[in-house]
Structure 1
Amino acid sequence: MLSVEELIQEALSLPNATRVFLVEKLIESLESDIDQNIQKSWNTEAKKRRDEIRNHTVEPISGEIALAQIRQILEK
């Protein structure tokens, strides 16, 4: 049996499409443990935020800017 480190190295050596497939399968295996009520709430929130961006009621910012703003708040 491979160690975790060996398994990671093997996975990283796979072609990109195969690695994507592997990641999808790993995520699917974790999703069965997700509370469906929580997942529904997150889906509702994601759709609300998507609609706000589409309707121009909010202005999206890059992740880089968002992280900089968070760091600034935490430094206070």
Structure 2
Amino acid sequence: MTLETLQAEVMRLSPADRANLLDRLIASLDVDAGVEAAWDELADQREQELAVGATAAVAFDLAIARLEARFPG
């Protein structure tokens, strides 16, 4: 099967099924389970900090502007 044929078949799926397939494909590229576990732990920690008010959320636009200022180009 060619990539083009496969893509045409995938595009016939519902948006939800395509999203599920995308998640699975991305997960298949993650070869270091330790790194993924560390990111999951950090995300959980940050979510908890937000929930208890230990840290404040930053608006998306402001976060992007800060990153662009720090890493131009």
What residue in structure 2 maps to residue 18 of structure 1? Answer: 17
Residue identity (%): 26
RMSD: 2.3
**Shift of residue 53, structure 1, vs aligned partner:** 0.5
TM-score by length of 2: 0.68
The alpha carbon displacement at 1:10 in A equals 4.1
Structure 1 unaligned runs (5+)? none
Question: Structure 2, unaligned stretches of length 5 or more?
Answer: none
Q: Paired residue for 2:55? A: 58
Residue by residue over 1:40-65, the C-alpha shift from the partner in whole angstroms, topping out at 9 and shown as x without a partner, is 22222112111110111111113222
CA distance 1:8–1:62, shift in 2 (3 Å): farther
- Counterpart CA distance in 2 for 1:48 and 1:24 is 23
Residues 52 and 22 (structure 1), Cα distance of their counterparts in 2 relative to 1, 3 Å cut: same
**Normalization by structure 1: what TM-score?**
0.66
> CA–CA distance in 2 between the matches of 1:69 and 1:49?
19
| Count of equivalent residues | 72
